[in-house]
Amino acid sequence: MIFSEKPAIIGHRGSGSHAVEENSIDSLRAATAAGASWIEIDVQRTLDDTLVLRHNPTTAGGDFLVELTAADSGLPRLTEIFEALPPEIGINLDIKTILEDAVDAPARRTGPLLVPLLAAEARRRPLLVTSFDAALLSHLRDNLPGVPLGLLTWMTFPAGHAVAAAAGLGLQAVALHTGSLTGRPRSAEHTVRVAHEAGLEVLVWCPIPEEVPGFVAAGVNGLIVDDVRGTVEALAS
């Protein structure tokens, strides 16, 4: 079991796209202060093989992270996040593989860089690794036993394909956009039930508070949200 409570409230890039800069230590702390028991972060690698927090492959100024050192990027390092957050806070790492992972030496690719860091951190904190990249997840499945993995799918990606793929890959979770569970041939309840039968926990991103009761009724295990406080209030009511 990945989540001790159902549903887990997971702060999207920390406290979402609010006043505090996303994927920053301040944003992560704001999410936990608002009631998130988990936070979601985006992870990419830099020129000097350091893992930093950033959703896009470029900085705000347009420079590619893979062409900058971690120091020059000015972004928080993954190791700093581990140190900044108390160990009872779970971390969902959304791993962004990059173009250069196709050609760089295997030891420099994002997956191998992750393995030793996550193996150590998993001994003291709940972790979940998700990614759009099935090859990365396969690598981690084979080299990082005991750390749960989930297939992340893009907006309105067919839920049936996602659940079947995640189960076939031997993963523990599937993370679906809200559009994959609404207005589809199969109901959200049916999709979640089949995923659970396949041994998968189901996360949904990024519902607004008004949508939360419906996803809770469908049985999802985790809510990756921009509005942590609003989600807490929706669950309480």
Residues 6 or more apart in contact with residue 116 via CB below 8 angstroms: none
Percent of the chain scoring above 90 in pLDDT: 93
CA of 31: how far to CAs of 12, 84, 129, 232, in Å?
8, 13, 19, 11
* 8 A C-beta contact, residue 10 and residue 38: yes
If phi > 0 it is left, if psi is from -120 to 50 it is alpha, else beta; for residue 22 that is: beta
Model pLDDT for residues 185-216, shown as the tens digit of each residue: 779 999 999 999 999 999 999 999 999 999 99
pLDDT in tens, 78-118: 999 999 999 999 999 999 999 999 999 999 999 999 999 99
145 or 18, which is more confident: 145
Lowest-confidence segment of 6-20, 22-36, 206-220 by average pLDDT: 6-20
Any bridge partners for residue 9, and if so which?
Answer: 223
Mean pLDDT of the residues in the chain: 95
Stated pTM of the model = 0.96
- Classify domain 8-236 at the CATH superfamily level: Phosphatidylinositol (PI) phosphodiesterase (3.20.20.190)
CA 6 from chain centre, in angstroms, equals 17
Q: For residue 103, give the amino acid letter.
A: V
Nearest to 14 by CA among 48, 66, 55, 65: 55
Whether the pLDDT of residue 15 is over 90: the answer is: no
Provide, rounded to the nearest whole percent, the portion of the chain with pLDDT above 70: 99
